[in-house]
Structure 1
Amino acid sequence: MQVNDSFARRLRLLRLHRRDDNGLLVVPLDHAVGAGPLAHRGDLDRLLAEIADNGADAVVLHKGAVRRVDPRRFRRMSLIVHLNAGTGLAPDPDAKYPVATVEEALRLGAHAVSVHVNVASISEGPQIAHLAAVAGSCERWGVPLLAMMYVRGPQVPDGRLPDLVAHALAVAVELGADLVKTALPEPAPAMVRIIATCPVPVLAAGGGDVSDPRAALGRLATAVASGAAGIAAGRLVFTADDPGATVRRLATLVHGRTPVPAR
């Protein structure tokens, strides 16, 4: 017996976008597979508590990490389970491989799933095929799909060029993604054009360079002002001296107000 896709997907999307302004602040914490242990002070559950208590709408975790955290962290935010991965140690650091399924994510209690695709990479074909397969499973089970779309590869000198980013987003939309995360180009007019022509919500990626958090927050503020539906920032949060304070700043950008502290 299959799930009623239309109702189930709408229900889970409402859970993700449960604030009245419909914005979305996602904190991806799937980086450890690619770059080694990154959880703040080595305590993932403590980090999740800070993220949940300060206004994040959702976090992205790999399946093993989900089993190591307190389920009470998800009283006030949603769980997105990430379905593919790759390491920076591989001969092709842009490669991504399936590591979990939609069914596994549902058994873990996920409200949505995510897939990372590096368009223009050497292994672009298998990555796009995996995105399409996941989209089919999401259609079957009524699960929202977040596609993390980047333009990366040996022939790509600048993956933020507007036409390249727009193409990557089109791939995600055409294959069935409900939400897309990407590194938006600058300046603001380029962001506006890309966001306006994408028929699904666009989340602005926090970016890999966190050496200047003030500049990163400024870029994200510009993205939100340019029409981005929200922010997906991981490194900016877990590398911060005070992750909770960083989440509060991001939540203010997305939702226009300071979240009410947890009681």
Structure 2
Amino acid sequence: MTIIGKQIRIERIINRNTGKTVIVPMDHGISMGPIEGLKDMKSAVQMVSEGGANAIVEHKGLVGAGHRRKGKDIGLIIHLSASTSLSPNPNAKTLVCSVEEAIKLGADAVSIHINLGDDTEKDMLRDFGIITNEAKIWGLPLLAMIYPRGEKIKDEFDVKYIKHAARVGNEMGADIVKVSYTGSVESFKEVVEGCSIPVVIAGGPKMNSDRDILEMVKGAIEAGGAGASIGRNVFQHKNPAKMVQAISSVVHDNMSVEDALKLLE
């Protein structure tokens, strides 16, 4: 029964026809405070749902704040780990929510953040293993956000580190893995080829132009990626709904960057 439950839930966060997804993470409040774009959660969720996002990521305490009684439906992924920018080691993530608690809040899936190479990597991997098992028991899809960040990491966007990160998510039992884009179609193909679960790209810090964002998404899709999980470059955009629509058109409809940019006019 848990297998059937997971299949049903995963279709709430991944488009069943395309096998791809557009996720908008909105879990930044714990790490960064009430940043621009996330002060009014109900409005933020409404705008990205109107644009056609498949799912959002939130921490447990804001689920009610973003709840809507009308408008398009949108998948809910509850984030289970956290740290703040005020910490001596902000890369050290700790569990702040359980799978069972997320289910009680109406989650369609859960997510966890791991920073490979950090001094506390062993603790994060231990937590990852615990959550993987709990998610399997409850039939809840698990999104693993994995980044190479630590003293041994010279360049966190280097393909050798990114494909390692994706493979860790795969081998640990995640259902979807989120990693940084490596900068080119050719290099990102290496990441996708070494991972048997859907791979989505992170959006990272606010980018300089809409074209940069869409070209990154297009490159990931051409490499075989399963979509994008983009936060600040969406909810801090001057028109979040249109930005999601443009990204979704590239991800689900294989639209060109030029045509997607026209949707933003």
- Fold shared, TM-score > 0.5 on shorter chain: yes
Taking the TM superposition and a 5 Å limit, the aligned residue runs for 1:163-178 are: 163-178=160-175
The match for 1:80 among 68, 77, 80 is 77
Distance 1:213 1:239, change over 3 A: same
Residues 157-209 of structure 1, C-alpha deviation per residue, up to 9 Å, x if partnerless?
20111111111111111111000000021222111121122100000111224
Aligned to 2:156: 159
Normalising by the residue count of structure 2, what TM-score does the alignment of the two structures yield? Answer: 0.91
Secondary structure in structure 2 of the residue aligned to 1:40: coil
Aligned to 2:101: 104
1:181 & 1:216 partners in 2: Cα distance? 16
Normalising by the residue count of structure 1, what TM-score does the alignment of the two structures yield? Answer: 0.92
Letter in 2 for 1:214: R
Aligned residues, how many? 255
Aligned to 2:8: 11
Alignment of 1:193 with 2:170, yes or no, is: no
Letter in 1 for 2:213: A
Taking the TM superposition and a 5 Å limit, the aligned residue runs for 1:132-147 are: 132-147=129-144
Aligned to 2:243: 246
Taking the TM superposition and a 5 Å limit, the aligned residue runs for 1:193-212 are: 193-212=190-209
2:125 & 2:185 partners in 1: Cα distance? 29
1:228 & 1:84 partners in 2: Cα distance? 25
Residues 65-118 of structure 1, C-alpha deviation per residue, up to 9 Å, x if partnerless?
102122436852100000000111111121101110000100000000000000
Contact 1:52 1:73 (8 Å CA) reproduced: no
Alignment of 1:64 with 2:61, yes or no, is: yes
Secondary structure in structure 2 of the residue aligned to 1:81: strand
1:95 & 1:237 partners in 2: Cα distance? 26
Letter in 2 for 1:185: T
The match for 2:86 among 86, 89, 97 is 89
Taking the TM superposition and a 5 Å limit, the aligned residue runs for 1:204-223 are: 204-223=201-220
Letter in 1 for 2:246: R
Aligned to 2:117: 120
2:230 & 2:71 partners in 1: Cα distance? 18
Residues 214-251 of structure 1, C-alpha deviation per residue, up to 9 Å, x if partnerless?
21221121111111111100011111111111111111
Contact 2:59 2:80 (8 Å CA) reproduced: yes
Alignment of 1:230 with 2:227, yes or no, is: yes
Shift in Å at residue 149 of structure 1?
A: 0.7
Q: Which moved more, 1:188-197 or 1:225-234?
A: 188-197
Contact 1:27 1:232 (8 Å CA) reproduced: yes
Contact 1:81 1:110 (8 Å CA) reproduced: yes
1:69 & 1:186 partners in 2: Cα distance? 33
Q: Which moved more, 1:111-120 or 1:178-187?
A: 178-187
Residues 108-136 of structure 1, C-alpha deviation per residue, up to 9 Å, x if partnerless?
00000000000001111111111111000
Shift in Å at residue 43 of structure 1?
A: 1.0
2:161 & 2:173 partners in 1: Cα distance? 19
Identity %: 33
1:29 & 1:50 partners in 2: Cα distance? 13
Q: Which moved more, 1:123-132 or 1:71-80?
A: 71-80
The match for 1:43 among 40, 43, 53 is 40
1:69 & 1:197 partners in 2: Cα distance? 36
2:177 & 2:83 partners in 1: Cα distance? 19
Aligned to 1:261: none
Segments of 4+ moved more than 4 angstroms: none
